[in-house]
Each structure stands twice: as structure tokens, then as C-alpha cells.
Amino acid sequence: MFRFLSGFGSYWILLGKVFSRPEKPAIYYRQTMREFISLGLRSIGIVTIISFFMGAVITLQTAYNTENPIYPTYLIGLGARDSIILEFSSTIVALILAGKVGSNIASEIGTMRVTEQIDALEIMGVNSASYLILPKVVATVVFNPFLTLISIITGILGGWIVGTSAGVITSQDYVYGIQYAFIPYYITYALIKTVIFAFIITTVSAYQGYTVEGGSLEVGRASTRAVVYSSVMILLFNVILTQLLLS
């Protein structure tokens, strides 16, 4: 319990250092652009592939589980759309990014810690926490909503292609289903969740990396902890945000 509280306290102290005034905004801007590429653009591939196949599977499963003459077939499109927007593209993609981006951040910062690169920054008088973490937070918080939108579009497209190819739904029914009773607020809900999950992934993983002590073995452990803790926090906040935003 003491360890948890101590860790929780030092996490907030670290955030205090992260969100202090940048020493040289131009350098931070350049770093942020690098992080957009490293953490954002380089995640498009995996998000697209996973979203396409998940959209396809959601459509097929909805079709096979609602095989009943009472249900109109366009409900398959509607079900796939809402599953993708409400849960898959925000929460599941965030869990996938916790694995990819979270471990990347923890191992990068952890390696810098054990090889004294962070000490070298501190010696120069650079606020290492802010210099290393703030650009990552900004990049993920700004870019991840785009990843979510890409995921929604690709997921729905995957459902359409595979659903119509497998013959479980006609193209007209699917398109009608994804337009039927559409609630635009669901997109807002998904994007709000994405922003908060992006913040959790980046700060929790950065904290794990920044506080590493020891050698390469510890960096590996920190990387694993980053993924586990980020994932648990995402699931916890998913419940909280769903209650707050949809009730």
C-alpha cells in the first residue's frame, strides 16, 4: 500500500515537472514533430490492419448471432457501426497502442535513464522530464483522435467488404444500417475517451521509464509494467468515462 501511494505521489510530482514552462519552445516544437512521426504516423499501419479485420469479424459475428427472420439484416451494419465507434476504435485500439507506444516510450526513456543520458540533460540545466515527456504527451493526445477516426472508417469498411463478400449482408443493407439511427455524439464520446487514454498511455509509460533504476533487465521490466498499468488504467477509465458520458 505504501509503495502504491509513494508511486502515485511521485507520478504526480513528475507530471508537475512535465507541465512546467518549456525552456526553448522551438526545440520542443521540433521534438513534438518527431514524436508525431514516431508515435503517431508509425502507428497508422497497425491500427489500419487491426481495425479492418476486427470490423470484418464484428460484422460476421453480428450476422451469425442474429440469424433470425424477425431481425432486419440492416441491423448487422448498425450493430457493427456502434460496436466499432463505442468500444473498438477507442478502447481496443487504445489497448493495442498501450502495447506498441507504451512499451516504446518506457524502453526509450528507461534506456536513457540507465545510460545516464537523463543525468547528462539534468547537468546541463535542462528539465529532462519536460523535454522528454511533454512532446510525447502532446503528440499522442493530438494524433490519437485521428487514429481513432482512421480506425472507425477502416473498421466499417472491413465489415462492408467482408460482410458482402461472405454473403451475410447485401451492400445496400449494410450502408443503410451504418446510417440508420446514427447518433453523432457517439463520435464525440469515442474521441474524448481516446484523448484521455492517450494521456494515460504516455504519462504512465513515461513514468515507468523515467523511474527505472538498474540495468537493461530493469528497462525490460519497466516496459512490461508500462503496458500492464496503462492497460488496467484504460479499462478502469473506460468504465468511469462511459458512466459519465453516456448516462
Q: Which residues bind other proteins (CB under 8 A)?
A: 23-24, 27, 111-112, 115-117, 119-120, 122-127
Choose between 126 and 228: whose C-beta lies nearer to other proteins: 126
Q: Where are the alpha helices (DSSP H) in 73-127?
A: 74-83, 93-97, 103-114, 117-124
CB of 244 to other proteins, least distance (A): 36
Q: Which amino acid is at 151?
A: S
CB of 47 to other proteins, least distance (A): 24
Distance, in Å, from the CA atom of 101 to the CA atom of 40, rounded to the nearest integer, reads 9
CB of 115 to other proteins, least distance (A): 6
CA triple 7-198-105, angle to 5 deg: 65
Choose between 16 and 72: whose C-beta lies nearer to other proteins: 16
Contact 129, 14 (CB under 8 A): yes
Enumerate residues 6+ apart whose C-beta is below 8 A from 203.
11, 14, 15, 18, 133, 137
CB of 214 to other proteins, least distance (A): 14
CA triple 146-102-226, angle to 5 deg: 145
CA atoms within 13 A of residue 187's CA, in its CB half-sphere: 11
CB of 157 to other proteins, least distance (A): 36
Choose between 111 and 170: whose C-beta lies nearer to other proteins: 111
Written as nine digits, the cell of 36 is 508525431
Choose between 15 and 57: whose C-beta lies nearer to other proteins: 15
Choose between 21 and 181: whose C-beta lies nearer to other proteins: 21
- A 10 A CB-CB count for 78 gives 20
Choose between 123 and 232: whose C-beta lies nearer to other proteins: 123
Q: Is the dihedral of CA 56, 191, 18, 237 positive or negative?
A: negative
CB of 35 to other proteins, least distance (A): 11
